Structure 1
Amino acid sequence: MSILDVIGPVIVGPSSSHTAGAAKIGKFCHNYLGGLPDSVEFILHGSFGSTYFGHGTDKALVGGILGFDVSDLRIKNSFEIAKELNLKYSFSSDDLGDVHPNTVRVILEKNNSLYKIEAASIGAGEILITEIDGVKVNLSGKSPTLVIINKDEHGSLSSILNIISSTGINVANLSLTRISLILEEATCVIELDDIPEKCLIERLKQSEFVISCRYISKI
Structure 2
Amino acid sequence: MRFRDVFSIIGPSMIGPSSSHTAGAARLGRTARAIVGETPEQAEIELFGSFADTYEGHGTDLALVAGLLGYIPSDTRIRDSLSIAEQEGMAVTFKTGHKPVAHPNTVRMRLRNGGREHVVTGCSIGGGNIEITGVNGFDVKFTAGYPTILVFHGDRPGMLADMTDLYRDAGLNIGYMEVDRKSRSGDVLTVIESDGMLPDGSVQLLSRLVGVQRVSRIDPSEVEGSG
Q: TM-score range by the shorter chain?
A: over 0.9
CA RMSD of aligned residues (A): 1.5
Matched with 1:190 is 192
Percent identity of paired positions between Structure 1 and Structure 2 = 34
User: Could you tell me how far apart the structure 1 residues matched to 2:8 and 2:206 are?
Assistant: 35
Q: 2:82 aligns with which of 72, 79, 82?
A: 79
Letter of the structure 1 residue corresponding to residue 180 of structure 2: T
Q: CA 1:6/1:184 → structure 2, altered by over 3 Å: closer, same or farther?
A: closer
Alpha carbons 2:48, 2:101 under 8 Å: kept: no
* 1:13 is the counterpart of 2:16: yes
Which piece of structure 1 moves more, 34-43 or 209-218? 209-218
* 1:51 is the counterpart of 2:54: yes
Measured against aligned partners, the alpha-carbon deviations of 1:85-133 in whole angstroms (never above 9, x if no partner) come to 0110010001242321110000000112110000011111111110011
Measured against aligned partners, the alpha-carbon deviations of 1:136-191 in whole angstroms (never above 9, x if no partner) come to 1111111121111233222121111112211112111101112232x533221111
Letter of the structure 1 residue corresponding to residue 19 of structure 2: S
Matched with 1:102 is 105
Matched with 1:204 is 206
Q: 2:128 aligns with which of 116, 125, 130?
A: 125
Q: 1:174 aligns with which of 173, 177, 180?
A: 177
* 1:163 is the counterpart of 2:155: no
Question: How many residue pairs get matched?
Answer: 218
Q: CA 1:74/1:120 → structure 2, altered by over 3 Å: closer, same or farther?
A: same
Matched with 2:138 is 135
Letter of the structure 2 residue corresponding to residue 115 of structure 1: H
Measured against aligned partners, the alpha-carbon deviations of 1:7-51 in whole angstroms (never above 9, x if no partner) come to 311110011111111111011111111220011011000110011
Letter of the structure 2 residue corresponding to residue 129 of structure 1: I
TM-score (norm: length of structure 1) = 0.94
Q: CA 1:171/1:86 → structure 2, altered by over 3 Å: closer, same or farther?
A: same
Alpha carbons 2:122, 2:131 under 8 Å: kept: yes
Q: 2:64 aligns with which of 56, 61, 65?
A: 61
> 1:78 offset after TM fit, Å?
0.6
Letter of the structure 1 residue corresponding to residue 41 of structure 2: D
Which piece of structure 1 moves more, 150-159 or 198-207? 150-159
> 1:212 offset after TM fit, Å?
2.6
Letter of the structure 1 residue corresponding to residue 77 of structure 2: R
User: Could you tell me how far apart the structure 2 residues matched to 1:208 and 1:6 are?
Assistant: 42
- Aligned residue for 2:58, secondary structure, equals coil
Letter of the structure 2 residue corresponding to residue 66 of structure 1: L
> 1:3 offset after TM fit, Å?
4.0
User: Could you tell me how far apart the structure 1 residues matched to 2:37 and 2:187 are?
Assistant: 23
Unaligned stretches of 5+ residues in structure 1: none
Letter of the structure 2 residue corresponding to residue 116 of structure 1: V
Alpha carbons 2:49, 2:101 under 8 Å: kept: no
> 1:196 offset after TM fit, Å?
1.8
User: Could you tell me how far apart the structure 1 residues matched to 2:180 and 2:46 are?
Assistant: 25
TM-score (norm: length of structure 2) = 0.91
